[in-house]
Structure 1
């Protein structure tokens, strides 16, 4: 059974940060916009973050890994050939429902690696192009931070004051000062002052399991209310099967399946993909036709290619003092960009961003010992580990930049399907030797930082493979249709009324968390779409 819904000016696929941002800008500009989201709304009363059993829920029904979480609204990922596994959340707000709220921008050099170092490719845009949109997104969601971070050009400010760095932040900063290394109070997509139904951060350190206060800028609460108030519509439990096209090769809308298995088609003049770096390439590859036998917008052969997942490693330090190491925010109380720029003398190509992370509970302590024999982390032995470390330990964590490589890619699994029978994405990802050298070098530096701060014990924490929070690069932007999928405003080179505005467009990954850059790119691209709507090519008939 199937049905066709009324035509829209714009149809957006995915209700995460880019989809929410684009929908808000379009609706506030007077456009008729509908968003298809295969997940549902998250009830703040159901989140794991304020439950006594949070650590158990976080390992099961509230896991950040969709293959563990296994909800009907998720799609599984075939990770049989992946050294890092993608972490995502299917629902209104997308991955921000379970992200930690870290909010660093890319640095200027991230946009021009080829020009500066002969590495990879330059972006078709610059830091200066995105700077006003970074500021706009900060105002929209209510970011907090301390002004004047020396790792960035002058003028970076936030609408709200920085969150406290706490005792562990002070301790870590003392060590960094001894070494002469950069640190700064972390920028956060977390309110330090309450407004409306969003409270101020209470430092639960539960950010990744749902903020009990609503302080974290999960986009379902930080962006979607304004978008809906402006007229944007959202359809949940709408799993997209394909983006449809007419005989002129223009997008005409999307076919999707509802929770009862009924197939629908929503027609639109413009289609915007915002389903993340795995989901977008999956849908484009499923959208085959006589005109696009290898997938939609894929004349370059690059849809799904150049997947970047940000390899990640941590080093825990244990201290004599009670540092209240269980206090939030979870993502980071401090950042360090000391090693963010390229220095080829280190023996690898690109840089890293460090985050200072708390360890909020006893199971979180024991998780950091998952690589030791079971007898040494259970029973009385496990209790001693918890007593030694809980409150007295924190972790420096390094996110490194992995460079684009066409051998890292997303395809359609020949074996695994989702609950609607659609092929799951298959992740092909191998950590490069360059990335391994980068990780090893930073592990040694993080041990050094802890020792400088006075830690009496340090331990490397090998978090992989479950660290693929950031799924980037699978529909890269650029000026040349033979080497990119979309242009600088996310418009497909092949299909002029099809856009991509999520992390797929990244040319290189930087070493920082990408969410604010994703939202800023979407805001800029959508503004350009609005301003040039009169010249936008659309199908004469947008029925299926």
Structure 2
């Protein structure tokens, strides 16, 4: 990780201060800078050069167990902060750096479904969103082009009009085998949609199918926003990116308006950056942590927290998987990883199943002898050596994973708080996660596990191995500063503006009302695009500190 020196002097007062240089922060900064705003973005991590990714090396599976592990408590990079997970069923996963978690995500690119925005009306659970799929569709389309999405139009699970700028990636022998099983059962499947270039696209290379997407892409084929957004952003002279900047507090004036932030650089020095508007884009853990740390006389319980909902309603998407083993050689070390095919067969509620809502399935390759999930969930890497290594090596290429992204219902007891003891390297309170899977979630996972076993057996698997709840599955951190139309039961309005602080915005997964059952990055980015365009169009009415 590299921390770059500032190329230009920072403004005394920025028009907009953005905290976080990941997926949603990059969207906000790009739109603002294109409209001539003076923007400063503070990012606690640094740049990650492609030369630091080990996907093209023989030892990449070993580096996945430490250097490029998705759990910050395992990885312990200079940009990471520790997280207390002693009272959580699931470990939160994230990456601090320019690009955020798009550096290590798998590039699964699945839109939320129309029903996801109306769960209260349809199923009597959660709450309806203050917007619809149709409201978000044009922003989905624009983000798809920005990210260079590979896919094929016509999926019957979705409304018409979904097209992609690039053709789909090959589904390979894994996808063909899985599809045969689904066809035999009469279940829905579709070639996977991925934020991975199937052809050269806007300076990005074509995917070479290494299958190492979740430890960084050496070719730069995967659409991480350090490649898709930040290079063009930094051509603007009025846009400034400060790396190695850990924000300690968002400050307010006597009128309760945000005036900027105090941050700590990697030499331990404090700086104050003033701004007329502040946008927080620090993910579903980092954002509530910062708001809760930003206590003042006006906001003794944390900034924008008059409802007490900041940090509450945490949703994580519990993940279960079934690996199937086959006699045929499936070449399941090949990418994308990435998803070869997906299924929405069991996405919607069916009352006869005894639970509400559902989840999205996808197939993934299983990698080499160590396995593509080597080191996940606290596994000891050396357990795969010796005789176990030889046993695993004989099976390489003969298996693949069906996994389910399970919809997680909002529950105020699942939350992010400030730990009373644990601190980060700058002495700031670490976040504490309190999270328990519900009875509905457990029933949902059990049902999907059995159906995934059926899918493998129908495809010809000779045996299956189940992971009923993957400990390291908390990629999708959602709901901890939910949006809504009323200041009585939400933290921000439908465009991410704080009900309490009119020049403070949240633009990340924290604003989700319900979790949906789909990978959320494109919804996060589409929401950010919608929100920042509203901020820009209404700028003449924006309250700012004098």
Q: If the TM-score is normalised by the length of the shorter chain, which range does it land in?
A: over 0.9
1:466 aligns with 2:476: no
CA distance in 1, matches of 2:520, 2:373: 29
- Counterpart of 1:316? 323
State the superposition RMSD in angstroms: 1.9
Asked whether 1:144 is paired with 2:150, we answer: yes
CA distance, structure 2, for counterparts of residue 405 and residue 303 of structure 1: 13
Q: Which one of the candidate residues 392, 412, 420 is aligned to 1:414?
A: 420
Q: Distance in 2 between matches of 1:453 and 1:418?
A: 48
Structure 1 residues 46-65: aligned runs within 5 Å: 46-65=52-71
**Within 5 Å, which residues of 2 pair with 1:515-530?**
515-530=521-536
- Structure 2: gaps (5+ residues): 1-8
Offset, 1:383: 1.2
1:342 matched to 2:349? The reply is yes
State the shift of 1:420 in Å: 0.3
Q: Distance in 2 between matches of 1:93 and 1:296?
A: 26
What secondary structure sits across from 2:275 in the alignment? strand
Shift of residue 226 of structure 1?
2.2
Query: Distance in 2 between the 1:75 and 1:375 partners?
Result: 26
- Summarize deviations over 1:273-305 as a string: whole Å, max 9, x none: 000000000000000000000000000100000
Deviation at 1:380, TM superposition (A): 2.7
Q: 5+ residue gaps in structure 1?
A: none
Match of 2:125 in 1: 119
Q: Residue 304 of structure 1 aligns with which residue?
A: 311
SS of the aligned residue for 1:455 comes to coil
Please report how far the alpha carbon of residue 534 of structure 1 lies from its aligned counterpart in structure 2 after TM superposition: 0.5
Which residue number corresponds to residue 507 of structure 1?
513
Is structure 2 residue 483 aligned with structure 1 residue 483?
Answer: no
Q: Does the aligned pair in 2 maintain the 1:9–1:33 contact within 8 Å? A: yes
Alpha-carbon separation, structure 1, partners of 2:405 and 2:464: 19
Indicate yes or no: 2:370 matched with 1:363. Answer: yes
Cα pair 2:333 2:397 within 8 Å, conserved: yes
Cα distance in structure 1, aligned partners of 2:76 and 2:245: 17
Q: Which moved more, 1:468-477 or 1:58-67?
A: 58-67
| Matched-pair contact (CA < 8 Å) for 2:85–2:432 | yes
Q: Tell me how far apart the structure 1 counterparts of residues 324 and 194 of structure 2 sit (CA, whole Å).
A: 23
Q: What whole-Å deviation, never above 9, does each CA across 1:354-375 have from its counterpart, x for those lacking one? A: 0100011110179599999999
Q: C-alpha displacement at 1:415, in angstroms?
A: 1.1
Cα shift readout 1:208-240 (whole Å, capped 9, x = no counterpart): 011111010111111111222244321000000
Listed as ranges, the matches of 1:425-440 within 5 Å are: 425-440=431-446
Q: Give 1:78-157 correspondences, 5 Å limit.
A: 78-157=84-163
Deviations 1:439-479 (A, max 9, x none): 11111000000000011111112452111000000000000
- Give structure 1 regions of 4+ aligned residues with deviation exceeding 6 angstroms: 368-376
CA distance in 1, matches of 2:463, 2:96: 39
Counterparts of 1:20-35 in structure 2, within 5 Å, are 20-35=26-41
Aligned to 2:404: 398
Q: In structure 1, what is the Cα distance between the partners aligned to 2:372 and 2:492?
A: 44
Query: What SS does the aligned partner of 1:416 have?
Result: strand
CA distance, structure 2, for counterparts of residue 86 and residue 492 of structure 1 = 25
Assess, with a 3 A threshold, how the Cα gap between structure 1 residues 489 and 196 changes in structure 2: closer, same or farther. Answer: closer
In the alignment, the residues of structure 2 paired with residue 448 and residue 503 of structure 1 have an alpha-carbon distance, to the nearest angstrom, of: 33
1:261 aligns with 2:268: yes
The DSSP-based 3-state class of the residue aligned with 1:168 is helix
2 CA distance for matches of 1:169 and 1:113?
Answer: 31
